[in-house]
Chain A
Amino acid sequence: MYLIDQHTKKIMEECKERARDAGLKFENETLEYIVTNRDLLELSPKAMIPTLYDYWVYDVEVLKEYGKYKLYPTNPYETVINSRPAISFYNDNNPDWLNIMIFYHVLAHIDFFQNNILFQHTWNDDFVGQALADKRLIQKMRSEYGRWVDYVIEFARSIDNIVGYYNLIADNIFPNEIHPEDKISYYFDEFLQKEIKLSQHEIYKQILHYNDLLEIHGKSAEPIFFTEVRIKYPEFEAKFEKYKSKKHTKYDDLLQFIRDNSPYLKKEANQWMCSILTIIRNTALYFAPQIRTKIINEGWASYWHDRLFLNDDRIKGNEIPYAKINAGVTSINRIGLNPYAIGLRLIEYVEDLAEKGKLDYKFQINENYEFRKNYNKKTGKGKEAIFNLRTNFSDFTLINVYCTQEFIDKNDLFVVGRKFIPERQVYQYYVKSRKAEDYKKMLLDSLYHPCYITIDQEKTNEECLYLIHHYEGKQLIKEFIPDVLIGLEFLWGGKVQLETTEIVKIENGENESDKIELQKVIYNSQNRIVNKIKI
């Protein structure tokens, strides 16, 4: 691994200027390394972070049957890493024009990393430096505690895919100071919704009323409001007292919960384990946004490498080889999904919508076909709209908002279904649907989605950690459950229970989802023996 030569660095710096002129924003310093195949082999298990801590699993081929992205929700082989300065990797013998294309692609990634709010928590630190400090700490621990360090790493990693990433970004974006008083938030968030079960509309009316009171009475609005509440709902005060008496520190993050509450880790001799849990958690949080922005990030990079490359006067004469490579990157598959292609098309679509003013309210409410077809306000706001996408959107929101019928038709997209033809022993692939809702559902279903596991704080105590897996249409991989639980038992120092739902029977029919039989079970890990009981 060594830095690119001065000649190539100069090309990079020129690319930066042009990219900035086009509106991309990124820090000035970047590092570009030439990597050999051997380097890649060593870097790829560490998600391209050269300084990541050592761990024996990196040294072993990992079974890939379960799908690479599930075992590595870290988007492992990215050419750019989100560090300060940003680091990118290149092959040795690319011609200049090709480097220009890749540089633009990389710069757009850097712009994305440094401006998209899903990455906000990574903006203040250099992860490569942080990782190096972590690595040294772990090395030091290894010399002191031996193989137990690796066990703790292993057990912590066994739950690092379910860290509370969204809590973290929610906290970043929604600072604690502006949280309303406990009583108010309980009234609107819990009491009205869960106890009284009012409709959205009714709740909204009450919020309006409260806001009116706030405007008139300022600080004394709250007592006035609750006097009214007491008349309407006499039981409210008692319920609120009861609510307050329970523990309500909300933990959706199992790793954090164990670190802060495990009786075993609290023992003085075991304090060092907490540092490992923190390292694993921070590493997982650092990688979390990457897998959730795959489509939009690659789309964004593809959009810019194309725009910037074609306007670059340095590459005259290389348009044809470029076109070939670009087509390879961004063409839509006849069958299958290409994140580069979908991302690029969605971004271009949004740009077009904004350019014609079709994101305006006036356009949205009018359903007249002719009106919609010919609507073009020439707003010149296309770029602004896609920069907004880059700042505020993730894969989910991009698809959820913009995967419309118009988009589907424009790009000739459809859902591919598969059916078995018994006579000929073949699977046939067919055009299943050209409806936007089906296509959107298919795309959303193929997005990365870790399972949702929470801690039941009422059933959890010194002796027992009680977890609940919330069933979302898929059961957990059963084979792995006992091993994870044994690890958690070690970290908690007591028995661990997991409540989950398993699919006991699937009827083979046309519509499989209709004929699923479910069974709730509890896995119980005690003294490193795991058993399962039905409930």
Chain B
Amino acid sequence: MKPDLQKILDKINFKSISPTLDNIIKREIELIKKKPQITNSQIPYPNLYDKTDFDVLPNYYRPYRSIFASLKTLDELLAQDIQREKDGFPRRIKIGRLIKPSKNNQKQVVIIPTTTEPKFYHDDSITDEQETGGSGEGNEGDIIGEQPAQPQQGEGSGQGAGKGDETEHDIVQEAFDLGKILTEKFQLPNLKPKGKKPSFTKYIYDLTDRNRGFGQILEKKETLKRIIRTNALLGRITTDDIDTTQLLISPDDKVYRILSKEKDFETQAVVFFIRDYSGSMQGNPTQVVTSQHLLIYSWLMYQYQNNVISRFIVHDTNAKEVPDFYVYYQSQVAGGTKVSPAFELVNQIVDKEKLAVENNIYVFYGTDGDDWEEDGKEMTNAIRKMLTYSNRVGITVARNAWGANSITIVEKNLNESGLLKEKPELIKMDVMQSDNAPESRIIEGIRILVS
């Protein structure tokens, strides 16, 4: 066990703690010690059916299927999927995420529509013996190789599905596209932009100016007014006798809209993504939270037309900021759990960088609901402060399977603080079972958090 963890533990043990919390802490420590789960895709050695002639015979290109080769467009696929639901069958299209390795060791997350074909298959994940073949020297018992149990920086993680190498889109574009799909197809709400400010760099061209004589679009009402005025001046009409067929129309009377350069207005948003990566988050809760945050990230990208600054924070008993989404997405489970430092860190950052002045601020937090700090005073205080400047704080609790349906500490503390009722327009909480959270549930969760 990490020494600092032991220290915290010693400190906590001095206080009197309830048996539930005691259980939580013990279980978490147990989990940290236990071997982490490794998915089959992380096992580095080749399987019997991995190789085909195309791989071993030279000069072939490994067939890799992707959306870019697809014969149907994504729109068609999604329309078909909605039709499925109407016909009473489960939906099939999922939003897949690939971790794409690239040259400078920087992972890219690539988003693609994906599907499974359900069949009766054996489930190897539980009973697989994790044995393979080998050859060469070595006596029985000799160690011949080693692999870190947790993916290292620069190593693919099991989150994705397969690997691709021909797509050159970067995350921002992909996220933007995904956000568009989410907004349009899954009917996520549109944001009401607040606090727009004129941009100094961006211009748009719009039909805002009026011009007499020529232009792009005729303004009929204005034109009619002009004609009436001209004819009235000429005395061709009086108030009680208007014969429209006799009206004179001067070319100058025609009023048009004309294309003109305008300063654009931009809405800026700063989004903080925070997640718990303590021992108890292993497996499903992490999956749920990272998937959801990726989707939210994409949705905001679209909503703010890419004007989103994202900050990423992970925490166990301490909180730290990580540089980008890939690290955030792939950071592996660390130590114990303390929620408050993460929120305090956000407050600090916002305060120090004066972010609240010019930006819409969103905070999304994902956890399994465990907290070693039982009364949650520090956490609620931090959140209370946060609510003074943020547009929305969204908290996702992805409950662990062992807790069954019982309420978690984070939920309890939040409910008791009364914040959820006091400021329902600013803070939302969504609770789901992490072992039963299909993609539709995750998207539903986003709807709750951002509505």
Interface residues, chain A, with chain B CB atoms under 8 Å away: 37-38, 40-45, 54, 56-71, 75-80, 91, 93-94, 98, 102, 105, 147, 151, 154, 157-162, 291, 294-295, 298, 325, 328-329, 332-340, 342, 411-418, 420, 422, 425-434, 439, 442-443, 445-451, 453, 469, 472-484, 486-487, 503, 506, 508, 512-513, 516, 528
Q: A62-B117, A77-B63, A416-B131 are in contact. Are A429 and B146 (CB under 8 A)?
A: yes
CB pair A451 B122 closer than 8 Å = yes
A contact residues around B132 at 8 Å (CB): 335-337, 415-416, 442, 446
**A-B pairs with beta carbons under 8 Å apart, 11 shown:** A59-B70, A60-B70, A60-B72, A61-B96, A151-B87, A162-B119, A416-B134, A416-B144, A422-B33, A426-B147, A448-B49
CB pair B148 A425 closer than 8 Å = yes
CB pair B122 A336 closer than 8 Å = no
Q: A56-B77, A329-B57 are in contact. Are A422 and B35 (CB under 8 A)?
A: yes
Q: Tell me, rounded to whole Å, the shortest Cβ–Cβ distance linking B117 to chain A.
A: 6
CB pair B130 A40 closer than 8 Å = no
Q: A60-B93, A413-B134 are in contact. Are A159 and B119 (CB under 8 A)?
A: yes
B contact residues around A71 at 8 Å (CB): 116-117, 119
CB pair A476 B117 closer than 8 Å = no
B contact residues around A295 at 8 Å (CB): 48
User: When the two chains form the complex, which single residue of A37, A154, A332, A474 contacts B61, counting CB atoms closer than 8 Å?
Assistant: A37
A contact residues around B87 at 8 Å (CB): 147, 151
A contact residues around B404 at 8 Å (CB): none
Q: A422-B35, A428-B143 are in contact. Are A61 and B131 (CB under 8 A)?
A: no
Residue from the set B63, B114, B150 with the largest chain A CB neighbour count within 10 Å: B63
CB pair B123 A425 closer than 8 Å = no
A339 to B47, CA, bound (A): 9
Residue from the set A66, A80, A417, A448 with the largest chain B CB neighbour count within 10 Å: A66
CB pair B114 A340 closer than 8 Å = no
B contact residues around A480 at 8 Å (CB): 116, 118-121
B contact residues around A58 at 8 Å (CB): 71
CB pair A63 B149 closer than 8 Å = no
Residue from the set B35, B93, B96, B119 with the largest chain A CB neighbour count within 10 Å: B119
A contact residues around B44 at 8 Å (CB): 335
CB pair A161 B121 closer than 8 Å = yes
Chain B: interface residue count, which band? 35 or more
Q: Tell me, rounded to whole Å, the shortest Cβ–Cβ distance linking A417 to chain B.
A: 6
Q: Tell me, rounded to whole Å, the shortest Cβ–Cβ distance linking A334 to chain B.
A: 5
A431 to B140, CA, bound (A): 5
Q: Tell me, rounded to whole Å, the shortest Cβ–Cβ distance linking B102 to chain A.
A: 19
User: When the two chains form the complex, which single residue of B51, B58, B66, B140 contacts A94, counting CB atoms closer than 8 Å?
Assistant: B58
A245 to B55, CA, bound (A): 56
A417 to B130, CA, bound (A): 7
CB pair A427 B149 closer than 8 Å = yes
CB pair B48 A430 closer than 8 Å = no
Q: A62-B114, A66-B121, A484-B118 provided; 17 other pairs, C-beta below 8 A?
A: A38-B69, A41-B65, A41-B69, A44-B63, A60-B93, A60-B114, A78-B52, A102-B57, A157-B119, A158-B117, A325-B57, A333-B133, A335-B44, A415-B131, A477-B122, A483-B118, A487-B118
CB pair B33 A475 closer than 8 Å = no
CB pair A79 B57 closer than 8 Å = yes
CB pair A325 B58 closer than 8 Å = yes
Nearest first, the 5 A-B pairs at minimum CB distance are A336-B45, A44-B63, A480-B118, A69-B49, A420-B35
CB pair A77 B114 closer than 8 Å = no
CB pair A418 B49 closer than 8 Å = no
B contact residues around A453 at 8 Å (CB): 120
CB pair A60 B115 closer than 8 Å = yes
Interface residues, chain B, with chain A CB atoms under 8 Å away: 33-36, 38-41, 44-61, 63-67, 69-72, 77, 80, 83, 87-90, 93-94, 96, 112-124, 126-127, 129-150, 158, 161-162
User: When the two chains form the complex, which single residue of A415, A426, A506 contacts B146, counting CB atoms closer than 8 Å?
Assistant: A426
Mostly, the B contact residues are loop
Residue from the set A418, A450, A484 with the largest chain B CB neighbour count within 10 Å: A418
B contact residues around A78 at 8 Å (CB): 52-53
A425 to B206, CA, bound (A): 60
A414 to B49, CA, bound (A): 19
Residue from the set A38, A413, A427, A474 with the largest chain B CB neighbour count within 10 Å: A427
CB pair B67 A61 closer than 8 Å = yes
User: When the two chains form the complex, which single residue of B34, B41, B66 contacts A61, counting CB atoms closer than 8 Å?
Assistant: B66
Residue from the set A43, A59, A342, A484 with the largest chain B CB neighbour count within 10 Å: A59
CB pair A427 B120 closer than 8 Å = no
B contact residues around A431 at 8 Å (CB): 134, 138-142, 144
Q: Tell me, rounded to whole Å, the shortest Cβ–Cβ distance linking A523 to chain B.
A: 11
Which chain A residue has the least Cβ–Cβ distance from B34?
Answer: A508
Q: Tell me, rounded to whole Å, the shortest Cβ–Cβ distance linking A481 to chain B.
A: 7
User: When the two chains form the complex, which single residue of A60, A102, A329, A474 contacts B123, counting CB atoms closer than 8 Å?
Assistant: A474
A148 to B150, CA, bound (A): 46
Q: Tell me, rounded to whole Å, the shortest Cβ–Cβ distance linking A103 to chain B.
A: 11
B contact residues around A76 at 8 Å (CB): 52
Q: A430-B143, A451-B122 are in contact. Are A147 and B65 (CB under 8 A)?
A: no
Q: A98-B58, A161-B119, A429-B146 are in contact. Are A294 and B49 (CB under 8 A)?
A: yes
CB pair B60 A474 closer than 8 Å = no
CB pair A428 B112 closer than 8 Å = no
B contact residues around A449 at 8 Å (CB): 122
Q: Tell me, rounded to whole Å, the shortest Cβ–Cβ distance linking B286 to chain A.
A: 16
Which chain B residue has the least Cβ–Cβ distance from A430?
Answer: B143
A334 to B45, CA, bound (A): 9
A62 to B66, CA, bound (A): 9
CB pair B124 A414 closer than 8 Å = no
CB pair A478 B123 closer than 8 Å = yes
A contact residues around B55 at 8 Å (CB): 77
Which chain B residue has the least Cβ–Cβ distance from A75?
Answer: B52
CB pair A61 B126 closer than 8 Å = no
A91 to B131, CA, bound (A): 36
Q: Tell me, rounded to whole Å, the shortest Cβ–Cβ distance linking B258 to chain A.
A: 45
Q: A105-B53, A339-B49, A480-B116 are in contact. Are A334 and B122 (CB under 8 A)?
A: no
Q: Tell me, rounded to whole Å, the shortest Cβ–Cβ distance linking A307 to chain B.
A: 17
User: When the two chains form the complex, which single residue of B80, B117, B149 contacts A426, counting CB atoms closer than 8 Å?
Assistant: B149
Q: Tell me, rounded to whole Å, the shortest Cβ–Cβ distance linking B433 to chain A.
A: 14
User: When the two chains form the complex, which single residue of B51, B114, B129 contacts A339, counting CB atoms closer than 8 Å?
Assistant: B51
CB pair B57 A158 closer than 8 Å = no
User: When the two chains form the complex, which single residue of A413, A427, A481, A503 contacts B126, counting CB atoms closer than 8 Å?
Assistant: A503
B contact residues around A60 at 8 Å (CB): 67, 70, 72, 77, 93, 113-115
Residue from the set A325, A334, A418, A429 with the largest chain B CB neighbour count within 10 Å: A429
A contact residues around B94 at 8 Å (CB): 63
Q: Tell me, rounded to whole Å, the shortest Cβ–Cβ distance linking B136 to chain A.
A: 5
CB pair B57 A105 closer than 8 Å = yes
Q: Tell me, rounded to whole Å, the shortest Cβ–Cβ distance linking A471 to chain B.
A: 10
CB pair A432 B131 closer than 8 Å = yes
Q: Tell me, rounded to whole Å, the shortest Cβ–Cβ distance linking A142 to chain B.
A: 13
A61 to B63, CA, bound (A): 12
A contact residues around B34 at 8 Å (CB): 422, 508
A147 to B88, CA, bound (A): 13
Q: Tell me, rounded to whole Å, the shortest Cβ–Cβ distance linking A281 to chain B.
A: 14
Which chain B residue has the least Cβ–Cβ distance from A341?
Answer: B135
